[in-house]
Amino acid sequence: MSDISRSINKVDNDEKITGKAVYIDDIKLENMLYAKTVRAEITSGTIIGRHYPEMPTDYHIVDYLDIPGNNYVKIIFEDMPVFVKDKVGYYGEPIALVVGPDKQVILDIISQIVFEYDAIAPIYDYVDSVIHYDYEKGVGEAVFEPANRVIEYTYETGYQEHVYIEPQGVIGDTDGDKISVYGSIQCPYYVKNALINTLGMDEKKVRVVQTTTGGAFGGKEEFPSLIACQVAVAVKKIGKPIKLIYNRVEDMAYTTKRHPSTIRMEAAIDEQNNILGFRAHVSLDGGANIGLSSVVLQRAMIAATGVYNINNLAISGDVYRTNTVPTGAFRGFGAPQMIFAVEMFIHHIAKELGIDPLILRNKYMAKQGDSTSTSGHFRDPIIMKDMIARAKELADYDHKIKLYGEHMPTKDMPGIGMSWFLHGCGFTGSGEQKHIKAVVRLHKDVGDIVTVLVAAVDMGQGIKTTMRKLVAHVLELPIEQVIMHNPDTDLVPDSGPTVASRTLMIVGALVSQAAEKLKENWLAGKEQIFEEKYKQPKYIQWDEESFQGNAYPGYSWGVNIVEVAVSPVTYEVTLKGTWSVYDVGKAIDERIIMGQADGGLLQGISYGMLEVMENKDGMVQQKTVTDYIIPTASDTVNMITELMDNPFELGPFGAKGAGELTLIGGAPAVALAIENAIGKSVTKIPVTPEYIMSLIEGE
Amino acid sequence: MLSGANSAANSEIYNKIKSEISSKVSNEVSNEMNSELSSKANNTVKNSMSKVTFVLNGQAVESSENPTKRLLDILREDHGLVGAKEGCGEGECGGCAVLLDYKIVNSCLTPLGSVQDKQVITIEGLSLSTEGQTIKKAFEDYGSVQCGICTPGMMIATASLLHHNQKPTEAEIREGLSGNLCRCTGYNMIVKAIQYLADEKGELWC
Ligand code: FES
Ligand code: FES
């Protein structure tokens, strides 16, 4: 059998390159109407009066009064209304849709709508905690009593906007009995369950179909459920197909973003300069709705030690409600914030103690068998030592780190930084077992064509190619004999959402088990169906209350080295090089992983140095791609990446998660490179020229 | 003849591509589209006045739409050519890019009236030409495509770049792509594909 990692032509290359792939905005149904959202124009308060104009024929207002079921979007917390009834939580919160055949007329109608409000003072500070968790490891808090010294730093991270190039969009349709929603989405069954809840309809009467998705990065995890519910309510009322597509400004101003955070880190140090333990507190800005924030907070808190083995911990965290646009899922899900803080902190501790950071980091780098932050165990081999050595060699790190950081005020200041990181693959704790309960199916028809029936979506990460390749490899069939379509909830079982770096490792493992069974029982020319259900491995013991046990079935690991030059005049940062080594178990398709690695790292680096989004008086200030800068090809360099095999026993062919991992190390690596260049401690991202100036010139 | 004759596009290669595309368009692109086009053309001929005439993927077309209407909407709505995507609507993302006399433009900022007598090639047309297929093969081999929403624009940008500069340096390639945003790939594998095209397939463009 050939090595599965050898790359093949992606199955959707042809349709995507030639412009034939059908994205949601490319679909036009007969008699289709358009919808546009009517939004609140205060940040906090109550609606006390609604004045809708007279509607021309075939134009409609759809609001909370039209909702047949529950007026909340079924996510984790049930606090996001489908349409505002009276209480407004943030500027731009959706109150109604205007629906009709002509977009210009719709805009005219919206301009005539008037709401009366009773506004109240909004909250923007971290004062209204709506979720609180804490946990300890070892002796916990008590380790600070015998400490010789306590080192404390506080780190801050900003918003990050997904900027998938295809904005949010859905189309709803009905045959008079059943409601179908098509959309650019990550999680068909999240949307379906939300529709059942809001429409109050039987599950058989609701169908969700994913259309080719032009980027998601977490932004199409929970948010599409909101607009799908709105459009479905409108379809139910009006009985015609309806399309709702966000323009870029709406998308940037009113859809979920990465949680801004403030992370306080403290280390207890003994007389021999050993780290006895950490105390940390994570504050996340949840915006107006909690949504998924509790799960994001859990992941951030569990990442509190990064790749290091620290014996005693006291970790706490809060999600704060503010009168701002809700924050939500974004590639990495709380880990990018925390890994930034930890990687900076370990350097700052070393600096304070006068130790070479590399020596300190190596001393605490976790090894196989060590305990995790939540007192579970790293069961599998950790090959970070080799990965770090290789990355350093590729980047000529040891040489450069000695050379750089000498200040020559007339020349660009060179700097190099290295981050080490890990990512727990799959849902936290018993999430797979308790909440997701994944089911996958393989269907073989009489022509011996095998179809993979899963709810996983291809949003660019190439899962259609990797799933087909997996099955073809197990069955020793040509890939053309294995099919996978965009999921349609009428046809595929609920294999769970396309999130949390779980798709290949968890869903792929089930699919390859089903393929093994099909192979053993293969009957040529006969229709056959094989189904697999997720069974939690015995070693996963997790206590959700106390955060004790194995939080994840497995971990992927990475090393990023980033080199920059900082202008001594403008303090602008130029990227000079990146070198990365990853352990994702075993790549199912090497080129696909390398591509994900490039894109993930660039998102991470620009999160760390470029992407500025501010909220002023409850309003997002950067609402266009002119104002919110993401890197272009000119801002980017040739990125060097290598993979090291470290097969994971439970993953298909040894594969682990890769999607999120590659974003996580970017911000700390670039922040450390800038710190190296300017010789000042960086505690905040993005590291903008203004921030560098304030560090160099003092406030 | 149309006035594209005076532009940079008036090279042999351009004419070659044009004839390649137009022969393939009539053979391969949906007949439905062609008949739609010709019926439109007939209509607009009748009510004369402010019609805009241009060459779309090698075929003469006329539009009686308001000349201030965005070319993007004309392509997507009137011609069913949905390969150009609206990512921002303000000229920043390059998702809507097309070739206008073989130079990249953002069709969301291009009024219909400004393409009078010019040659417009969309991804649908480009991908039928030898150049388009050569770029496509390189994108496949180098892994340049992820979610694909930026890809038609990247194809157009590549064609425009290589048409005007057969041997671009890495910096010139990056500059040539800088009007096209991609959030998935980090550009690495797109740049590599174009480096390959410049190194190995230069003769196609010169
Ligand atoms: S849609 Fe035209 S440049 Fe973005
Ligand atoms: S491939 Fe997704 S934006 Fe470029």
Domain boundaries, chain A: 30-121+163-254, 261-428+549-696, 431-533
Q: What is the average pLDDT across B43-63?
A: 79
Q: What is the average pLDDT across A16-29?
A: 98
**3.30.365.10, 3.40.640.10, 3.40.50.2300, 1.10.1060.10: CATH of A431-533:** 3.30.365.10
Model confidence pLDDT, tens digit, residues A204-263: 999 999 999 999 999 999 999 999 999 999 999 999 999 999 999 999 999 999 999 999
Which residues, at least 6 apart from A292, have a Cβ–Cβ distance to it below 8 Å? Answer: A75, A76, A221, A222, A328, A329
User: Hey, is the C-beta of B174 within 8 angstroms of any chain A C-beta?
Assistant: yes
ipTM exceeds 0.90: yes
Cβ contact A633–B185 (<8 Å): no
Cβ contact A19–B152 (<8 Å): yes
The number of beta carbons lying within 10 Å of the beta carbon of residue A376 is: 20
- pLDDT value of position B42: 43
- In this predicted structure, the answer to whether residue A379 has a pLDDT above a threshold of 60 is yes
CB contact burial A123-148 (16+ within 10 A = b; e otherwise)? bbebeeeebebebbbebbeebbeebe
Cβ contact B84–A19 (<8 Å): yes
Cβ contact B140–A163 (<8 Å): no
Q: Does residue B182's CB lie within 6 angstroms of at least one atom of ligand 2?
A: yes
- pLDDT value of position A537: 87
Q: What is the average pLDDT across B104-120?
A: 98
Model confidence pLDDT, tens digit, residues A418-457: 999 999 999 988 889 888 999 999 999 999 999 999 999 9
The answer to whether B176 touches B160, Cβ cutoff 8 Å, is yes
Model confidence pLDDT, tens digit, residues A611-630: 999 999 999 999 999 999 99
Interface contacts A/B by beta carbons within 8 Å: 170
Shortest-distance atom of ligand 2 to CA B148: 1
- Name residues 624-653 of chain A within 8 A of B (Cβ): 624-626, 630-634, 636, 638-639
Cβ contact A18–B85 (<8 Å): no
- In this predicted structure, the answer to whether residue A189 has a pLDDT above a threshold of 50 is yes
Residue owning the nearest CA to atom 2 of ligand 2: B147
Shortest-distance atom of ligand 1 to CA B108: 2
The mean of the pLDDT values for chain B is 84
Report the gap between the CA of B152 and the closest CA in chain A (Å).
6
- Name residues 57-96 of chain B within 8 A of A (Cβ): 76, 81-90, 92-93, 95
Q: Does residue B181's CB lie within 6 angstroms of at least one atom of ligand 2?
A: no
Report the gap between the CA of B171 and the closest CA in chain A (Å).
7
Sign of CA dihedral B193, B194, B196, B201: positive
Residue with tokens 């800068």: A629
Domains B50-125 and B129-206 share a fold: no
Q: Show residues of chain B in contact with A626, CB under 8 Å.
A: 90, 92
The answer to whether A84 touches A73, Cβ cutoff 8 Å, is no
pLDDT band at B204 (very low <50, low <70, confident <90, very high): confident
Domains A30-121+163-254 and A431-533 share a fold: yes
φ, ψ of residue A205 in degrees (nearest 5): -95, 10
Report the gap between the CA of B3 and the closest CA in chain A (Å).
28
DSSP string, chain B: --GGGGSTT-SHHHHHHHHHHHHHHHHHS-HHHHHHHHHHHHHHHHT-TT-EEEEETTEEEEE-S-TTSBHHHIIIIIS--TTS--SSSSSSS-TTEEEETTEEEETTS-BGGGGTT-EEE-HHHHTTSHHHHHHHHHHHHHT--SS-SSHHHHHHHHHHHHHH-SS--HHHHHHHHTTS--SSSTTHHHHHHHHHHHHHSGGGT-
- pLDDT value of position A411: 82
In this structure, the strands spanning A149-157 and A684-685 are parallel
Helix axes A463-475, A509-520, angle to 10 degrees: 30
- In this predicted structure, the answer to whether residue A594 has a pLDDT above a threshold of 60 is yes
- In this predicted structure, the answer to whether residue B27 has a pLDDT above a threshold of 70 is no
Q: What is the average pLDDT across A535-545?
A: 89
Task: Tell me the three state secondary structure of residue A183.
Answer: strand
* Substitution site in B82, B93, B100 for ligand 1 pocket (most atoms within 8 Å of beta carbon): B93
- pLDDT value of position B22: 56
Model confidence pLDDT, tens digit, residues A219-236: 999 999 999 999 999 999
Question: Residue A397: enclosing H or E segment and its boundaries?
Answer: helix A397-403
Q: What is the CATH number of domain A261-428+549-696?
A: 3.30.365.10
Rounded distance, CA A422 to CA A552, Å? 11
- pLDDT value of position A698: 83
Report percent pLDDT > 90 for chain A: 95
For chain B, the domains span 1-48, 50-125, 129-206
> How far apart are the CA of A165 and the centre of ligand 2, in A?
7
Q: What is the average pLDDT across B81-95?
A: 98
Rounded distance, CA B64 to CA B43, Å? 9
| CATH class in words for B129-206 | mainly alpha
- pLDDT value of position B35: 42
Q: Which residue of B has its CA nearest to A252?
A: B88
Q: Would you identify the CATH topology of the domain A30-121+163-254?
A: Aldehyde Oxidoreductase; domain 4 (3.30.365)
- pLDDT value of position B23: 56
> Is A390 exposed, middle or buried, given 0-12, 13-18 or 19+ CB atoms closer than 10 A?
middle
Cβ contact B95–A625 (<8 Å): no
Q: Does residue B148's CB lie within 6 angstroms of at least one atom of ligand 2?
A: yes
pLDDT band at B19 (very low <50, low <70, confident <90, very high): low
The mean of the pLDDT values for chain A is 97
Model confidence pLDDT, tens digit, residues A64-100: 999 999 999 999 889 999 999 999 999 999 999 999 9
> How far apart are the CA of A459 and the centre of ligand 2, in A?
9
Q: Would you identify the CATH topology of the domain B50-125?
A: Ubiquitin-like (UB roll) (3.10.20)
DSSP string, A616-681: ETTEES--STTTS----GGG--PEEEEE-----TTSGGG----TTHHHHTHHHHHHHHHHHHHTS-
